[in-house]
Structure 1
């Protein structure tokens, strides 16, 4: 691992040093009495220590519960409850752009179980709750540990993705999921021994564990920068750490382009970029390519429940910004129109089985979420007669992306077809946002939709609201209040792009909000004439 803490120079860990700390973590957990299959949460920034903690938990046969360090305490509560976490690793403060942001305080507010608390200060002074343990007291001095054998289907990690009914889906990764991560890393991203892989992420999102497995199994180096990736300091880190593969989310690239903060740096060691998390904009992607002498960008789209991507690119096909070239090796998909017929535009559905695909959810019916009412795999007549088994007669697996197959055989992503959205590279459901906003005084009901701009690029969060009669708050103040609520209750990375005030929301005969109608209205610029819009 190569990493840089805020205000410090580069530091390097060898595989031996990472192994030793991983084993000290594992021994520390055993000394505290944890047993295989116990669930242990991690609410930390992406640091060298968090990598060792992640691997140490798995080495003991325990299960990591992933929680993003940006989450508010209410979201921490939900994830701890669903996973029945027995303990949590966290940190006193997070340092970002010269500021100290509280993390341990949020964990305490969430009434979390026993916390093991790290600190970047050499002599921590924060007072801990009764029963909580400081990192230095927790760590065992023994650097040797034999991994606890577990069956391939045993859980290693519980991650969370958006649900359409409020609670996020709890998705278990198993001991086979790393094979998918490493395969995508090697075959699609060309990760080899000697490569240095950087990806601004967090263990609360699938790309954090993905980065660990895709890098280390392929004997590469993980590069971690502990300050904000929106600053010139991150660009200098990319140069100094000799990054060869740089992962991004498109909104991050947009911020680099707007601020010009990456100008004048030497990124010549980069051999490729990878973009994931949200739809990209061709102009922004071309700008990104220019920062490293027009090196290619691998578009990479999948999900937590896949363990990687189902559609992506390669380094053996020409790069066209913001397009995908192929299904990920090891699986396939079809594009169907609204009548479930093969089409060049429509919903992309995955053809199972494939390694990495989830087979269970902890808190929802897996079949209902991914397979209920999906059609069978289509088998063209000519292929049937020829005995071709390329498409077998399996039920297709729902994923929710809108795809377009281009004339040259490449693909373009068109956002979501369901009620989830990608905001800042994070998948979230409309229901999660609506649940917190509808509790704001003076709000009768809300609808949250994602709008994909015609020119391409990340989803934009649009909020439709129906106000109570007594609510006379100006739209600017109302937007600020709703944004503050999202920041405090969900995630500060979710930014409201537009607020639309309406007298009522369109509903089906069964009283369900028709968010697709709202998306169509917004895209056509024909929101109700009596609405007050705020850009």
Structure 2
């Protein structure tokens, strides 16, 4: 292997002792192969262990792939081995259809959408009470596709099937011993919830809210509501009382499951009290500890008193397009969109887990999330339908305790948002831990920092990070990764199988760097909203595609790179992702405009230098004659966001501007503000 003349000094400067540096130099000199990918594979299999400083890993990666990096060609850090090439689900599909590559499989899946969907349903062993007459009916057009015509099913049945003593959930609470709940035990608890709802007079089709952390009980509640033929309204436990109220008014549930308090970072935070004393919505209240920390209203019931004694689970037959869940996603206006998931949406979630995350029976899947975000239901379906185990802990995801749980629970698929990785790396949370059991990482919710993702891969002996991007309205991803292609840190490696989309410029022409437009139909893709006109939000005023096909707007900007790789460039529209949570700029602006002497506000998301999770930057126009004290204003704004929106949204910077740049139609030009901010910071 060719090395710089001063390599010994470089290694010492990067953290090795003289003896360690000399030993590494001698090892590298003995590598005789010349091809960069072969050199790297030898390094990660024989040399680069987690104990070696990451600065050495990064230096050698840049050294080995220097030519690719200089040419702007993605430089991989992981390569498929025999387990992936021989035993992955995607490899099996290639053999089944006599195909040779992911590109061929994707092309087949979009040219044969009905056959693809049928194959997916068969692979996932989706259970039907009445078989469908047709997989896909397009008589009303691709915008209003009718999936699984005339079928009857309840998707919860596919979560249990014939499993019994296998672990469905393993969980750890407050650093206690790791416990587990078998599929049979989870099924019984689910039955107690479903039968409890029936005994309480809740009928199929009615909505039931859940505002809880991710626990074995909340999983059973989620499944029990759907098994009973009802609809889960999921509300993230981090939301303020005001944001909770918005979602309750929008959906009008007949009941809510809620916990008394939540402990975070050693602090006990209220949850039940967010309901308010005067609200007439009855609650079933669970205790975080051994006993309730609050007093209940007369209309409320304790969890233990709600549960039915009937532990036999029956599945209420539903139509494929009947709602199972209502989640919320912010668009380009102030109020959140209410997005229903029907009985077919989980097929998309579980299918992505099966194909792109390669989840197998017995795998242990961990993803710090909440039922109020789409990855909560995704985790339930992608794990249970694929006969895997969900791993849950109440440890803070950015803590050392969480990383220890990943090790001790033998997690094999670990999902996360990029912000978490940055904290782990900065605080050295993984030091000394054995993550070698991890087969696949996955990252979603924000743009990834390639350097952070290289670090993450190195902590598990170099395992791939499946970048994963979609949305609540897609039920999964439209762009992702695969275990059949070399993994490039921070980059997507393929479109999702069965999902077709285009990159278009502002003139509607195909481009290598542009806005994403979907080409429906795709199973799992939303067809309605509960509080908006679905056509107006996704289809109105969009010209037909280059082949006169119907296109659906999404709002992401993606850059296509050599080798079939892609890089996320954030949002085109007024939405932003902060800490893995999608929020509308308008929501933030309306809130901050209440502050005294603030005339106008514009909120933008700006990627940090080198890429990574977006940072929230606020531009303000101040009343004439008012002296701006930036630190004081930022603290006031942060407090308002924490109290009324979400404490996870952190303001990175506040900038004063004389006048907001606007288009002729008076729309704020956020791209210009981003350019202005980034130009001022360079």
- TM-score by length of structure 2 reads 0.74
> SS of the residue aligned with 1:482?
helix
Q: Which of these residues, 412, 416, 422, is aligned with residue 567 of structure 2?
A: 412
CA distance in 2, matches of 1:172, 1:26: 20
Q: Which of these residues, 608, 624, 632, is aligned with residue 453 of structure 1?
A: 608
Are 2:673 and 1:518 aligned?
yes
Query: Which protein has the larger Cα radius of gyration, Structure 1 or Structure 2?
Result: 2
Partner of 1:501: 656
Partner of 1:299: 467
Deviation of the 1:453 alpha carbon: 2.8
Q: 1:476-505 deviations in whole A, cap 9, x for unaligned? A: 011000001001111011110110112221
CA distance in 1, matches of 2:680, 2:257: 47
Partner of 2:398: 230
Are 2:205 and 1:37 aligned?
yes
Are 2:171 and 1:16 aligned?
no
Cα contact 1:91–1:103 (8 A) shared by 2: yes
Q: 1:45-93 deviations in whole A, cap 9, x for unaligned? A: 0001000000000011110001000000000011001111111111011
Deviation of the 1:39 alpha carbon: 0.8
Deviation of the 1:469 alpha carbon: 4.0
> SS of the residue aligned with 1:218?
coil
Partner of 2:553: 398
CA distance in 1, matches of 2:300, 2:611: 47
CA distance in 1, matches of 2:205, 2:622: 48
Partner of 1:384: none
Cα contact 1:73–1:110 (8 A) shared by 2: no
Partner of 2:360: 192
Are 2:247 and 1:79 aligned?
yes
Name whichever structure is richer in helix by fraction.
2
> SS of the residue aligned with 1:230?
coil
> Structure 1 segments of 4 or more deviating over 4 A?
none
Cα contact 1:159–1:206 (8 A) shared by 2: yes
- TM-score by length of structure 1 reads 0.94
Count of residues in Structure 1 that have an aligned counterpart in Structure 2 = 514
> SS of the residue aligned with 1:13?
strand
Deviation of the 1:166 alpha carbon: 0.5
Q: Aligned ranges for residues 124-143 of structure 1 at < 5 Å?
A: 124-143=292-311
RMSD: 1.4
Unmatched runs of 5 consecutive residues or more in structure 2: 1-168
Q: Aligned ranges for residues 173-252 of structure 1 at < 5 Å?
A: 173-252=341-420
Partner of 2:72: none
Deviation of the 1:326 alpha carbon: 1.1
Are 2:260 and 1:92 aligned?
yes
Deviation of the 1:395 alpha carbon: 1.4
Are 2:642 and 1:487 aligned?
yes
Q: 1:208-267 deviations in whole A, cap 9, x for unaligned? A: 000000000000000001121111111111011000000010000001011111111011
Cα contact 2:261–2:293 (8 A) shared by 1: no
Residues 1:232 and 1:507: Cα distance change in structure 2 (over 3 Å): same
Cα contact 1:210–1:308 (8 A) shared by 2: yes
Q: Which of these residues, 147, 157, 174, is aligned with residue 325 of structure 2?
A: 157
Q: Which of these residues, 225, 229, 237, is aligned with residue 61 of structure 1?
A: 229
Partner of 2:499: 331
Deviation of the 1:125 alpha carbon: 4.7
CA distance in 2, matches of 1:411, 1:211: 25
Q: 1:488-532 deviations in whole A, cap 9, x for unaligned? A: 1110111101101122212233333222221222232289xxxxx
CA distance in 2, matches of 1:188, 1:58: 26
Q: Aligned ranges for residues 364-379 of structure 1 at < 5 Å?
A: 364-379=532-547
CA distance in 1, matches of 2:278, 2:377: 24
Name whichever structure is richer in strand by fraction.
1
CA distance in 1, matches of 2:482, 2:355: 8
Q: Aligned ranges for residues 305-316 of structure 1 at < 5 Å?
A: 305-316=473-484
